[in-house]
Structure 1
Amino acid sequence: MSFWHKRAVLVTGATGFIGSHLAERLLAEGAQVRVLVRDPGKLIPALRDRVEVVRGDLRQPDRFAAATADCDAVFHVAAWLGEPNRREAAYAINVVATQQLAEAARTAGVRRFIGTSSIAVYGPILEGVVDETWPHSNVYLYSETKSLGERAVFATMTDRFEVTVIRPAEVYGPRGGSWTVTPVKLAQRGMPSLIGGGQGLAHPVYVENLVDAYLLAAQRAEAIGEAFTVCDADIPWREFYGRYAALAGKQARSLPVWLTWCGAFGAEIGAKIMRRPPVISRALLGFVLGRCTYSTTKAQRRLGWSPRCSLDEGFRRTAHWLREIKLIADH
């Protein structure tokens, strides 16, 4: 019998990419799944009528008590991913709401709280092997608020309220957006998706492999009070985006480093004049130009996690979904 059989859990972000896969897996494992969503109509068909819905927004903390009541575990996946100049919204959702949800869960007697962060908290790193001890670098709004959100949620932990944080890398797979649909559309439109020939390293993680990490983190005592980096591999961007371009029957195009560097510099100057964070910056370029690798040794040793789905199989499943939604042609 599954560990999750008849256990009550809350999943936030269930209308989104990662959250929908997590909720679907929990249902398959026999869990009683509750979701906190603004619009239940946006739930995928596989979740509709199978989950308990609490209507609410992360900016409505008065809904958190109902959402967390009688739950064994909370998986907090929802986050702010919006415009780079929306500092107030980013802080309100990624920091304040995360802390308020954790506090509500603790008050409700929830046993385990699994928060979602990102490898973005480490900042752009050109070389080296990065593990969970790497210092945080708040180079842009998302990484800054994710780092603060981690700190806030760990501060709520007690002997009876156990907290773990997952730091995913570039998550791809069916229903994915930024790291799935977007690269295909860029290739189809003949738009550049690479910088400097794509020699920097990408760090993809297939969504179901990530779900494995969430479930293990909620079960293992070794996960309590810890954060875990989760990625499947470190591969050149030219290979990652090249696979999508091939699915679209195209070749991935690239921009020279000097051109994107100049564009970022101009964006930074404009941002200073407008007193807003830049849409793109030289620091952000470090994410795609860097050749660092991310260690998942901690997740392997403490969680017993490893990517069950290979890169080839992950792309095969992703391609099948892309054909289902008619984004790429059948072959």
Structure 2
Amino acid sequence: MPKRIFITGSTGFIGQKLAKNLTDEGHEVVALIRSKAKAKNLEHDRISMVEGDLFAKEALLQGMEGCDEVYHLAAFASVWAKDNTFERVNIDGTLNILEAAKTQGVKKTLVTSTAGVIGPAIDGPVNEDTPRKVDFFTPYESSKYESELRIKEYVQKGQHVVIVNPTRVYGPGPLNVSNSVTKLVKQYIEGKWKFMPGDGMSTGNYVYVEDVINGHKLAMANGRPGERYLLGGEDATYHELFDTIAEIGGKRHKLYKMPLGAMLTFGKIQLFMAENFGRQPMITPGWVKKYLYEWRVSSEKAQKELGYEITPLKKGIEETVNWLKNGK
């Protein structure tokens, strides 16, 4: 049965693809947009748009009117902010979505969080229940974690809300901050990426964007309220990642190892410039410290409970490189 579905973050990397995917299935999508200029790629006869942000409460109520489901993907995911933007958008904005959904009688809400809230893999791959053993590295992680705690309060009061936690997403789509892995792939195959973080042995988990889209839909359909589901892909070291990109791209480029000490110093300078002169940093010390850890992830819960499937890294990189080479 076709549904009426409200989406925030609909102009983003994942949100845009999700909106189009849902319309392809015959659903009617209502997209929250900040401006029509940013939403040109969303134009579709089954997508209507409501202008506003997470704090435009009337727009939220209007957009959710008659909706069966809400996907909340909008977030502030920058490296740094000069004020409390992380807390305001990622916590308060999420609560506004949940309040509006409750008021309008929406049956199910799904919130996109991040695998970063769970923390690094210290005793083997992390899962949804792995206790965090180190402090948060970034305000993005900590604000998303706090948001999850607040979501569970709404679930305890009877609201159906499910959380998904994607890892490092890559694949065809806008080359923005949320698609930084694909930007790295592009720079490497063009011979513009020169550095190997640390010794190249730090492990990350890389998930193909189409898997994330399917994971969102599966979690909405089959997820249990109050539960989080890791939407991951394959674990790979930086050496393995760049070897895969080189193999698919057809050319291997020399990479220079960047010691973590040098990266940390650079991050400190960047943060100083940001805090004193308002200049947006490329990286902060917190982000650099993440390279000291393993980020191996198990998606077994999503696979068992939701029917989630993982695209092999080689196949996903191949799809991504082909898309980049064919002029996007």
Structure 1 length as normaliser, TM-score? 0.85
* Shift of residue 284, structure 1, vs aligned partner: 2.8
Query: Is the contact between residue 128 and residue 229 of structure 2 (CA under 8 Å) also seen in structure 1?
Result: yes
Match of 2:239 in 1: 238
**Which position in structure 2 is the counterpart of 1:297?**
300
Aligned-partner Cα distance in 2 for 1:147–1:202: 20
Alpha-carbon contact 2:201-2:239 (below 8 Å) kept: yes
Distance 1:31-1:232 versus aligned 2 partners, 3 A rule: same
Q: Could you list the per-position Cα deviations for residues 131-183 of structure 1 after superposition, in whole angstroms to 9, with x for gaps in the alignment?
A: 11123543311101111111222222267530100000000010153110244
Equivalent position to 1:18, from 1, 14, 31: 14
Match of 2:194 among 186, 192, 204: 192
Change over 3 Å in CA distance of 1:103–1:210 after alignment to 2: same
Q: Is the 8 A contact 2:16 2:42 kept in 1?
A: no
- State the shift of 1:324 in Å: 3.1
User: What does residue 153 of structure 2 align with?
Assistant: 155
Q: d(CA) in 1 for partners of 2:199 and 2:146?
A: 34
Q: CA RMSD in A?
A: 2.8
Q: Deviations over 1:22-47 (max 9, x none)?
A: 11111111111111011234336464
Check the 8 A contact 1:124/1:283 in 2, yes or no.
no
1:110 paired residue number: 106
Paired residue secondary structure (1:143): helix
Q: Match for residue 54 of structure 1?
A: 50
* 2:163 and 2:228 in contact (8 A); partners too: yes
Q: Could you tell me which residue of structure 2 aligns to residue 89 of structure 1?
A: 85
Whole-angstrom CA distance in 2 between matches of 1:106 and 1:214: 20
Matches within 5 A, 1:1-331: 5-43=1-39, 45=41, 47-126=43-122, 128-136=124-132, 137-157=135-155, 161-176=159-174, 177-185=179-187, 188=190, 190-220=192-222, 222-244=223-245, 247=249, 249-251=251-253, 253=255, 254-264=257-267, 270=272, 280-307=283-310, 309-325=311-327
Partner Cα distance (1:56, 1:298) in 2 = 35
Q: 1:275 to 1:11 in 2, by over 3 A?
A: same
Aligned AA for 2:212?
L
User: 1:291 is aligned with what amino acid?
Assistant: E
Which structure 2 segments of 5+ residues have no match?
none
CA 275–149 in structure 1, closer or farther in 2 if over 3 Å, else same: farther
- Deviations along 1:263-310, one digit per CA (max 9) or x if unpaired, are 346667x48985999874554334334224211111112112121x33
Given the two structures, how large is their TM-score scaled by the length of structure 2?
A: 0.86
- Secondary structure of 2:154's counterpart equals coil
The one-letter code of the counterpart of 2:262 is: L
Task: Tell me the distance in 1 between the aligned counterparts of 2:274 and 2:20.
Answer: 44
Deviation, 1:111, is 0.7
How many residue pairs get aligned? The number is 319
Q: CA deviation at 1:65?
A: 0.3
Secondary structure at the aligned position of 1:33 is classed as strand
Higher deviation after alignment, 297-306 or 198-207: 297-306
